């Protein structure tokens, strides 16, 4: 009976546990991919908002629609954290263009169009911010699982590596700041 218990224990350690770790890695990796796609969906909504305001602002003479149109058409690309950073920078530039236009045309700033645009832009920005937090939390769970012993032994054999979190381009230096 002692040998059968030992064999059962070895079977669990060398067969069942690696299967468990592999399944958990797949689950966590899929959760990371899903949360990254959620961010892209929210980003697409922001681009659609920029396209909508671009169409409505064409009535203003001397309007520089070229900048906004270039940003709107530049939204292609593979879904990666780096692509998200590129898109966020483009969207920040487009918001600057809209705000500068509103300053140049006080009647635009006073209109309901501009205030509705700003309200919607804030809404989408908050959704993206929440989606980024969810992504970073999910990546943290994945990274902890992959790094913990004995999971790291199985993860190393499976080729599972740490994933990178998302940082806004202005936040890259802040990640090393102490949290008081």
Given a cut of 50, whether residue 4 has pLDDT beyond it is yes
Residue 168 inside a domain? The answer is no
- CB 42, CB 127: distance < 8 Å: yes
| Alpha carbon distance 32, 34 (integer Å) | 5
Give the pair of three-digit tokens for residue 52: 């909508």
Give the pair of three-digit tokens for residue 14: 């060398």
Residue 61 inside a domain? The answer is yes
**Residue 49 burial (C-beta neighbours within 10 Å; 0-12, 13-18, 19+):** middle
Residue 56 inside a domain? The answer is yes
Residue 166 inside a domain? The answer is no
Residue 55 inside a domain? The answer is yes
What is the phi-psi region of residue 161: left when phi exceeds 0, alpha when psi lies from -120 to 50, beta otherwise?
A: beta
Backbone angles phi, psi at 105, to 5 degrees: -125, 90
Tokens 């980003």, residue?
43
pTM comes to 0.73
Domains contained in the chain, number: 1
| Alpha carbon distance 127, 31 (integer Å) | 18
Residue 125 inside a domain? The answer is yes
* Cα dihedral: 116, 118, 120, 122 (round 10): -150
Residue 38 inside a domain? The answer is yes
30-56 confidence digits (pLDDT tens): 999 999 999 988 888 888 888 887 777
| Alpha carbon distance 15, 64 (integer Å) | 64
Residue 65 inside a domain? The answer is yes
User: In Å, what is the CA distance from 125 to each residue of 37, 68, 121, 141?
Assistant: 16, 17, 6, 24
119-176 confidence digits (pLDDT tens): 888 898 899 889 999 999 999 999 999 999 999 999 999 999 999 888 765 554 444 4
**What is the domain range of residue 115?**
32-133
């Amino acid at each position: 009976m002692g040998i059968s218990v030992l064999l059962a224990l070895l079977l669990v350690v060398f067969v069942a546990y690696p299967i468990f770790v592999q399944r958990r890695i797949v689950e966590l990796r899929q959760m990371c991919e899903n949360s990254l796609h959620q961010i892209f969906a929210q980003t697409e909504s922001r681009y659609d908002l920029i396209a909508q305001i671009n169409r409505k602002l064409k009535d203003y003479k001397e309007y520089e629609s070229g900048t906004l149109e270039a940003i709107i058409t530049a939204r292609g690309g593979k879904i990666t954290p780096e692509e998200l950073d590129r898109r966020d920078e483009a969207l920040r530039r487009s918001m600057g263009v809209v705000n500068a236009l509103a300053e140049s045309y006080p009647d635009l700033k006073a209109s309901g169009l501009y205030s509705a645009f700003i309200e919607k832009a804030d809404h989408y920005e908050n959704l993206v911010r929440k989606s980024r937090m969810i992504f970073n939390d999910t990546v943290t769970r994945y990274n902890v699982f992959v790094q913990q012993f004995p999971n790291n032994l199985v993860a190393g054999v499976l080729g599972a590596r740490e994933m990178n979190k998302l940082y806004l381009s202005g936040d890259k230096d802040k990640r090393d700041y102490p949290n008081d």
